[in-house]
Amino acid sequence: MKKNLKRRQVGKTKCEVSVLGLGGAPLGNLFEVLPEEQALGTVSAAYDAGVGHFDMAPQYGHGVAEHRFGHILRHKERSSFTLSTKVGRLLKPVRDGDFKRGSWKGELQFKIVHDYTYDGVMRSVEDSYHRLGMNQIDIALIHDVDVAHHGDDYDAKFKEAIEGAVPALTKLRDAGVIKAIGIGVNEVGPSVQFAKNSQLDCYMLAGRYSLLEQDGLEELFPLAEKQGFSFLIAGPFKSGILATGATPGATHDYRAASDAVIEKVNRLSEICQRHNTPLAAAAIQFPLGQERVASIVTGAVKPEEIEQNVELMAFKIPDDLWAELRHEGLINEAAPIPKGPFA
């Protein structure tokens, strides 16, 4: 059943996104090859359920995600949704098949080349148009300029992005080609550095501000308030453990959860149960307590997961639950409490 998901403004732009978005990493065959019909059905189910924002990247399946999203979305009324994709990785054809796929499974024969230069970013946007089969991208995000991906080369890549990617995207935004620009990273540190050295509209922050941990409260969120940029929060379930609880095999940041994480999740679960609230509902709604958070972007690999996430957004969470979590020291005292439901 279609829900009327609330919408929020992206930075100071005229772009608005639904508070629930669909992330494309799993649909790019992350860890497993999804049947095409199932993957396309998941995108269709999201649109039909009222999800109005779709996020993807060239990296996801080395082109697979953009192909799949475009296959469905290019047949929809363009004003009825927004989409974001990423720049900084170009896809180059490989004939012998000898290249690293990492966690991505599938058959597309393209290797990834990192390129945050002005020309590389312009090329990346054009390439995404072709893979999507569409002529409009709403939000472009500079992808993974962080220490985890670049190690000792981080400073050089950051400089390349500031001198190349940011001016390229700024030109496209100012010309009205793209509505909003930003970065997509998994780390708070680089986000702060970008905020101090550029004027961006939004930051996709994956896995760092969640019910389990509230990174960025001291410096990043105050910068957002001062400068007026927004956040797209990805990974609200921390790769699974905040959706299922600390069940056997539950993962935290795509790895086996530590004893400390399991203990904290169990405490969160106990309080949620006491207030007749699904842990997953608290997890997916919590980041929206921050007014600068425009959307929660979750992954899904089947239509039923879409339906579940939309229902979680519509769940009415009692104020007493948030009060108890704060009293027990399970969420930061400085973290604002969401005023849901959001559908």
Catalytic residues: 55, 60, 86
Contact 15, 179 (CB under 8 A): yes
Structure tokens at 150: 């670049």
Going by C-alpha positions, the residue among 229, 251, 228 that lies closest to residue 241 is 251
Pairwise CA distance, residues 223 & 228, whole Å: 8
Residue 146: DSSP 8-state:
S
Residues 6+ apart with CB under 8 A from 311: none
Contact 242, 299 (CB under 8 A): no
Pairwise CA distance, residues 184 & 310, whole Å: 23
- The strand pairing partners of 182, in sequence order, are 141, 202
Going by C-alpha positions, the residue among 125, 113, 123, 112 that lies closest to residue 181 is 125
- Three-state DSSP class for residue 142: strand
Buried b (16+ CB within 10 A) or exposed e, 100-135: eeeebebebebbbebbbbbebbbebbebbbebbebe
- Three-state DSSP class for residue 309: helix
Query: Taking the CA atoms of the chain, what radius of gyration do you get in angstroms?
Result: 19
Structure tokens at 194: 């970008």
Residues in the chain: 343
Contact 267, 276 (CB under 8 A): no
Burial of 75 (0-12, 13-18, 19+ CB in 10 A): exposed
